[in-house]
Structure 1
């Protein structure tokens, strides 16, 4: 039996001292009502923005994401995916170099499922635009996703085709001017039920919250780290801590910086440079180290290696031996 939604608003909105945290079951019920359009627009906005100000606990995130998983299009769970990547931040300081890491990783025999969306009024470069630049349109169903997997080793699906109710929550930024927990939940969704899921986040402590929620959801293999711009991309200028929950165990790994000094950021994001770096037509040390570091994290996430040093060495080998032809057109 569902609780009247206004009770959840009262619980989280009473202030710092009187406000309450939702347990997992309450969070599940609240999110289920939102996804099923059983709350008024006023209630929806009030609840999401109150949670935005207070921030969600790991238990609340676990309940929310389990509710979101009940509205995923089930056909995508039949694809047999090795690595799930939720790409929802968009890039504004650097190009999405993680796309080259995905390509090289896929060429080495892995199957990668990428999902994302574009936020309204955002000035960021999203993965959809990068793929479209090279002639790849989003897959819209299991069949087109399988075709992309067979051709490239990876596929990209828009959140609206995976989970329309959750995408509608993200698109509310056009009204709020702020992001909500929906962005976090989309990263955690793993809509293809891949063997391993990697999350990139921007804010401190959300990486820990992600793996705590993964434990409560009984996920088998989740890694989360603070990626460049909040994406699943290693910033080679600084160390990164990889928080993980795998086979019932939580822990962390340290990825060392791969550059000794800070690099000058580009004035503009020119997608042609992605192709030029892949083909070794330009010398871009930042891009190369970002790709290698990201590849190393992919390997650590999928348990392909035992140590960080081994991951970095194998990542260098995968990058150096990638196919010489550009696979995207």
Structure 2
């Protein structure tokens, strides 16, 4: 069955496009994930949604289709989820540092995303340089957690059909709703999600979705698209408890002039980032204050799930 009726609604341009209902969105995404439509229709969907933007209701419907097709995972205590889909371009990839700081506190941490990027250094590569290579199964995630270490699960393992949707970017040169869904994935039931955005306009749509889905999550403007605070200046950390923004857990953005800037590796290479992370964990270098603030906020927010 063609998705032309859906494309007719969402493909009328920025001002003329109409949003799909949750049920329509679920049906459309299910067909995409099950490869029931042509490549031409996939391209039309990606371009139309890129121009229109997703509503919270559409994201909820898309996620209704995504969840049943995802690898089943479970955690004995609330996990923290760190979606890693961008990598380092100008600054070292320090999401692994945040993950290891949380794991030190006994938190099961799952990182998921891409293992390689032609133009960037990924968190997976940094973890591999730290002798924590990606895992390839649910059992391997559990085994890594048993050792008190974070686990990186490639999207191709966590959700193969969603990974294929994200792969359209290599053909079209544009992101599509799959990228947003990947960053929102509740990959482990009952987990605390760290959701990041790069463009300010996504802050509102993601906030609306987290409210609609009654999520417990932290939303921030990520560092080069990664779910970690900028080590030089703390961004706003918006914390949601069961869908409601909670100011008692949220942290305001750092203002004013920077009095002190942490010494960071000059290179973004995985080996340089790994060496820096080892030094900070060993106490040879201070952990950047914004990352410590993010860790502490996550630990406090996680308690709302544990109670």
Q: TM-score range by the shorter chain?
A: 0.7 to 0.9
Structure 1 match to 2:294 = 294
Tell me how far apart the structure 2 counterparts of residues 161 and 228 of structure 1 sit (CA, whole Å): 25
Q: Which runs of 4+ in 1 moved over 6 A?
A: none
Q: Structure 2: 5+ residue runs without aligned partners? A: none
The equivalent residue for 1:233 is 228
Map Cα deviations across residues 187-212 of structure 1 (whole Å, 9 max, x no partner): 11121124321112211132332232
Secondary structure at the counterpart of residue 100 of structure 1: helix
For residue 240 of structure 2, what is the aligned residue in structure 1?
A: 245
Q: Deviation per CA, 1:256-302, whole angstroms, max 9, x where unpaired? A: 42953567875421232222232234x4x6x5224313313322431
Superposed, 1:15-94 pairs within 5 Å as 15-74=13-72, 76-77=73-74, 80-94=77-91
Measure the CA separation in 2 of the matches of 1:205 and 1:264. 31
Q: Distance in 1 between matches of 2:120 and 2:53?
A: 24
How do residues 298-309 of structure 1 correspond to structure 2 at under 5 angstroms? 298-303=298-303
Matched, 1:200 2:196: yes
In 2, Cα distance between the equivalents of 1:237 and 1:255? 15
Aligned residue number for residue 275 of structure 1: 278
SS at match of 1:240: coil
Judge conservation of contact 1:120–1:173 (CA < 8 Å) in 2.
Answer: no
Corresponding residue for 1:113? 110
How many Å apart are 1:134 and its aligned residue?
A: 1.9
Which residue of 245, 252, 264 corresponds with 1:255? Answer: 252
Distance (whole Å) between structure 2 residues aligned to residue 290 and residue 242 of structure 1: 10
Decide whether the 8 Å contact of 1:237 with 1:260 is kept in 2: no
Shift of 1:245: 3.0
Q: Is it true that 1:125 corresponds to 2:124 in the alignment?
A: no
Q: CA 1:118/1:48 → structure 2, altered by over 3 Å: closer, same or farther?
A: farther
Deviations 1:203-248 (A, max 9, x none): 11323322321332343x1221112112111124445223333134
**Are the counterparts in 1 of residues 10 and 17 from structure 2 also a CA contact under 8 Å?**
yes
Aligned residue runs from structure 1 range 151-162, under 5 A = 151-162=147-158
CA distance in 2, matches of 1:135, 1:263: 25
Q: Whole-Å Cα distance in 1 between the matches of residues 82 and 47 of structure 2? A: 26
Check the 8 A contact 1:207/1:243 in 2, yes or no: no
Across the aligned residues of Structure 1 and Structure 2, the Cα RMSD in angstroms comes to 2.5
Instruction: Compare 77-86 and 48-57 and name the one that shifted more.
Output: 77-86
Superposed displacement of residue 147, structure 1 = 1.0
Cα distance in 2 for residues equivalent to 1:229 and 1:181: 19
Deviates more, 1:77-86 or 1:32-41: 77-86
SS in structure 2 opposite 1:257? coil
After superposition, the C-alpha distances for 1:113-167 in whole angstroms (9 at most, x for unaligned) are 211114654x111111011112222111121111100113421111111110001
* Kept after mapping to 2: 8 A contact 1:86/1:190: no
SS at match of 1:73: coil
Supply the distance in 2 between the matched residues of 1:290 and 1:73 (Cα, whole angstroms). Answer: 33
1:99 aligned partner: 96
Question: What TM-score does the superposition give when structure 2 sets the normalisation length?
Answer: 0.87
- Mapping for residues 171-190 of structure 1, pairs under 5 Å: 171-190=167-186
After TM superposition, the score normalised by the length of structure 1 is 0.81
